[in-house]
């Protein structure tokens, strides 16, 4: 893909260098860590690029070794990083992730406050580049990083909707990044109103809406303006509702849960790619469930994201 090629999907957000523990136990006791990439938006960008879609990612990184590492990694996956700025004097965010053996959520320790990405402002966005894509994927993670990043999320979603493009939004809640639960609800709902496809988890939906069932959560968000809501139900699969069609899709089989982080991003890759390719809604959700299941069976956020060849072999 060259810089002049039109894009299928654009996403903006914070990428971080992730140091994954080489052994179980408290992070302070771990001697060896393995370096990898992390970030909700970049996970989705990598997954879509592996399926052959033309994907662009926009952000700011520190002009440091970790920033250069992330930029090289994303470019190596075929993601257009032409609108990623390496900023002298600023630093790249990072995190430490523990290793667990029982399938539970691993401990995660973030070091992202004041990062280069958190200082991204609306004027940093190349609007022509953004609007060259037919779809925008946004998440509640980047929106929560700073007041500036929230403005970037809101502006880009509004621009794409006004241009007649589609917008997907994964709430992907990070409560510690928001000033309060009330601010988180208000911010997420403001962004949901600018999205076409909304992908909440069941517990996220319950916390944000007060509704308890997948059907009620989907109805709440469709009333806010979403055209399609897919509620992730974990081991129970997913529920989808676009007004004309609704139903449940079972979870894909999982032999052993190794790492739960990244499952939601994998699910988003499946649903977004399927819908952009014109698959029927139910088949797109089935693809999402299959990729999400692959993601939890390997260590790391992106290692389980399939290529197009693997997708074809699975009949998806």
Active-site positions read: 265
Q: Cα–Cα distance between 267 and 193 in angstroms, integer?
A: 21
Q: Cα–Cα distance between 41 and 59 in angstroms, integer?
A: 10
Q: Return the residue matching tokens 């129970």.
A: 236
Can you spell out the DSSP letters for 267-284? HHHHHHHHHHTT--HHHH
**Count of beta carbons in the 10 Å neighbourhood of residue 266:** 26
Q: Cα–Cα distance between 254 and 297 in angstroms, integer?
A: 7
Between the two ends of the chain, the Cα-to-Cα distance in Å is 24
Using DSSP, state whether 312 is helix, strand or coil.
helix
| CA dihedral of 248, 254, 260, 261, whole degrees rounded to 10 | -80
Residue 265, CA distances (Å) to 102, 162, 163, 168, 170 in order: 21, 26, 25, 12, 9
């Amino acid at each position: 893909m060259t810089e002049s090629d039109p894009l299928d999907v654009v996403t903006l957000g914070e990428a971080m260098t992730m140091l994954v523990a080489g052994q179980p136990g408290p992070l302070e006791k771990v001697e060896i860590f393995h370096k990898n990439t992390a970030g909700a938006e970049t996970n989705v960008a990598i997954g879509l690029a592996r399926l052959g879609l033309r994907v662009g990612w926009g952000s700011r990184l520190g002009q440091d070794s970790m920033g250069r590492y992330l930029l090289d990694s994303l470019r190596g996956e075929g993601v257009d990083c032409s609108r990623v700025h390496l900023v002298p004097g600023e630093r790249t965010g990072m995190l430490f992730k523990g290793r667990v053996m029982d399938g539970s959520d691993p401990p995660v320790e973030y070091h992202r406050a004041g990062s280069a990405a958190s200082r991204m402002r609306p004027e940093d966005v190349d609007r022509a580049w953004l609007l060259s894509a037919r779809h925008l994927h946004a998440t509640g993670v980047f929106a929560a990083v700073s007041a500036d990043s929230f403005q970037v999320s809101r502006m880009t979603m509004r621009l794409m909707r006004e241009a007649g493009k589609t917008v997907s939004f994964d709430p992907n809640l990070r409560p510690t990044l928001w000033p309060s639960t009330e601010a988180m609800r208000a911010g997420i709902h403001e962004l949901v109103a600018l999205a076409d496809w909304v992908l909440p988890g069941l517990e996220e939906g319950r916390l944000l809406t007060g509704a308890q069932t997948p059907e009620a959560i989907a109805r709440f968000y469709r009333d806010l303006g979403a055209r399609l809501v897919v509620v992730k139900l974990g081991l129970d699969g997913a529920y989808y509702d676009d007004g004309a069609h609704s139903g449940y899709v079972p979870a894909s089989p999982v032999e052993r849960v190794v790492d739960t982080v990244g499952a939601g991003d994998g699910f988003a890759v499946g649903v977004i790619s399927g819908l952009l390719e014109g698959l029927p809604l139910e088949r797109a959700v089935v693809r999402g469930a299959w990729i999400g299941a692959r993601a939890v069976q390997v260590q790391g956020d992106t290692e389980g994201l399939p290529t197009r060849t693997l997708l074809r072999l699975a009949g998806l």
